[in-house]
Amino acid sequence: MIMRLRKIFPFFLLGLMTISFWSCKDDEDTLPEVEPGSNAAINRWISEVMEEAYYWLENLGTPISENSDPEDYFESLLFRPTDRFSVIYPDYQELLNSLNGVTLEAGYEFILFRESQNSDNVIAEITYIKKNSPAATAGLRRGDIIRTINGQQMTVTNFREVIGAISSQHTITYLRYNEGSQAFENQGQLQLTPVQLAENPNFLDTIYTINNQKIGYVVYHFFAPGPGNNSNAYDQETDAIFAKFKAEGINHLIVDFRYNGGGFVSSAINLASLIAPGVSTNDIFLKRKFNSFLSRFDEFKNVNAKFLSKSQNLGNTLSGNRVYVLTSSRTASASELIINGLKPYMDVFIIGDVTTGKNVGSVPIEDEDNPQNSYGLLPIVFQSFNSQDKSDYSNGFTPNITAKETAERLRQFGDVNEQLLRTAITQITGTPPSGRFEKLDRMDLGSTLDLKVRSGTMVENFEIN
């Protein structure tokens, strides 16, 4: 039996972390040789990775033929339905780009609904437009209603196929709500051409003064330190936002995670270190538990992540030591990690919908030894806990106040009458809104956000040696 060190790469998706795994193989030399580009070669690599790193090692599935399609082979190993998150991607580099928010797209996201309870037609309501994107240049807005894509009416049976067209040049027909006439009006047809777009997660920040309460509001769409490797431009921008909040003396903070499906843990730590009162590098933000094999090695015991010491930290300025977090069913992974990691240090008051419930982390892994294998794996490799050893959110966090944004027509981010923000401001000030708001009875069929690589991920980027 030969004990050898195998570097399977990179990043923990509850943290992007360079790691090395020990592999114990006594039958490796007895396997017949296969072509590097063959399914057999790729599937042997998949098997090696899973037998070392998979969190549910004792429940690893029975593999199908090693000549099978790699996606089918990987699926055969997973502990379904407990494991909802492990996935395989055909292109590892594209996976890493996507985790940094760099994708080929036109720059708009939407949620899909039935047009009415009695119709099989499907419409899409735009949830947000990305800065410096073709969609922004074209003048699209949150709340616009898309009726057709490339002239096709979406239905409950074809919408998944139809929305696949938005990754290349396409046309849409859409409607916009007119506040004056209080009706949606046809805006005609619009052509959009996707570009390689680097999305900034710092979407919006502002300060409101209402009833002598100074409220800081930040919309943060995913966790990434910067647009590429070795960049921390986004984290620096987040620091600047909180420096402004601190200088302005806010006494309430609202963090909007409704569309935040996760990302790099390093950025989650950075953000949490700006919020939790007076934390430093002596305070634990998260703990990790690995499988029974890895847990035998010292490198995978007591693997904790500490807060950072940040001059921009808000300190004890927040009233009642409370932070308000806006959520949806798509609030996942690193966003939930923030909620769980802050709870031992302050009151986390949740407004919105029940979150996804992802308290486990993955690793994006490439086959460094075989250039003919372009696949990337994201298997679950550990479970996360906070400083009090709590990890009881596999079914999501239940909000203190339930408020589903899909129950109303979408208003612009930052509009104090937007449903989730309005609910938080009402909770803070004690003054209910004076307007009347139409309630809608509609079912969320899906979103473009569900297709994002970063949806449901937490990624770390520091080494364990």
The per-residue pLDDT for range 141-193, each reduced to its tens digit, is: 999 999 999 999 999 999 999 999 999 999 999 999 999 999 999 999 999 99
Assess whether pLDDT exceeds 60 at residue 326: yes
Who has greater pLDDT, 353 or 4?
A: 353
Average pLDDT, the chain: 90
415-432 pLDDT, tens digit per residue, is: 999 999 999 999 999 998
What is the pTM (predicted TM-score) of this model?
A: 0.91
Which pLDDT score is estimated for 17?
40
What stretch of H or E contains 241? helix 233-248
Which pLDDT score is estimated for 74?
98
Hey, what's the torsion of the CAs at 422, 426, 429, 432, to 10 degrees?
Answer: 110
Which pLDDT score is estimated for 31?
81
Per-residue pLDDT, averaged over 227-231, amounts to 84
Assess whether pLDDT exceeds 90 at residue 443: no
Give residue 128's region: left, alpha or beta (phi > 0; psi -120 to 50).
beta
- Alpha-carbon distance of 430 to 215, in angstroms, equals 13
Hey, what's the torsion of the CAs at 19, 267, 128, 443, to 10 degrees?
Answer: 60
CATH 3.90.226.10 domain locations along the chain? 200-360+386-439
State which amino acid sits at residue 113.
F
Structure tokens at 425: 């401001």
Which pLDDT score is estimated for 100?
78
Which pLDDT score is estimated for 454?
63
Q: How far is CA 43 from CA 88, 137, 291, 436, in A?
A: 12, 45, 21, 58
With bands split at pLDDT 50, 70 and 90, how would you rate the model's confidence at 457?
Answer: low
Residues forming beta bridges with residue 14, ordered by sequence position: 458
Q: What are phi and psi of 411, to 5 degrees?
A: -100, 165
* CATH class of the domain defined by 200-360+386-439: alpha beta
What is the CATH number that goes with domain 103-197? 2.30.42.10
- Alpha-carbon distance of 246 to 240, in angstroms, equals 10
Three-state secondary-structure class, residue 11: coil
Per-residue pLDDT, averaged over 194-216, amounts to 96
Which pLDDT score is estimated for 4?
29
**Contact (Cβ atoms closer than 8 angstroms) between residue 260 and residue 221:** yes
- Alpha-carbon distance of 401 to 384, in angstroms, equals 25
Name residue, tokens 């494991």. 83
Which pLDDT score is estimated for 462?
35
Sign of CA dihedral 386, 388, 393, 396: negative
Assess whether pLDDT exceeds 90 at residue 27: no
- Mutual orientation of helices 334-342 and 265-275 as an angle, nearest 10°? 30
* Max CA distance (Å), the chain: 78
Which pLDDT score is estimated for 3?
28
**Contact (Cβ atoms closer than 8 angstroms) between residue 452 and residue 8:** no
Per-residue pLDDT, averaged over 285-290, amounts to 96
CATH 2.30.42.10 domain locations along the chain? 103-197
Assess whether pLDDT exceeds 50 at residue 12: no
Who has greater pLDDT, 107 or 9?
A: 107
Per-residue pLDDT, averaged over 25-45, amounts to 83
Three-state secondary-structure class, residue 177: strand
Per-residue pLDDT, averaged over 403-408, amounts to 94
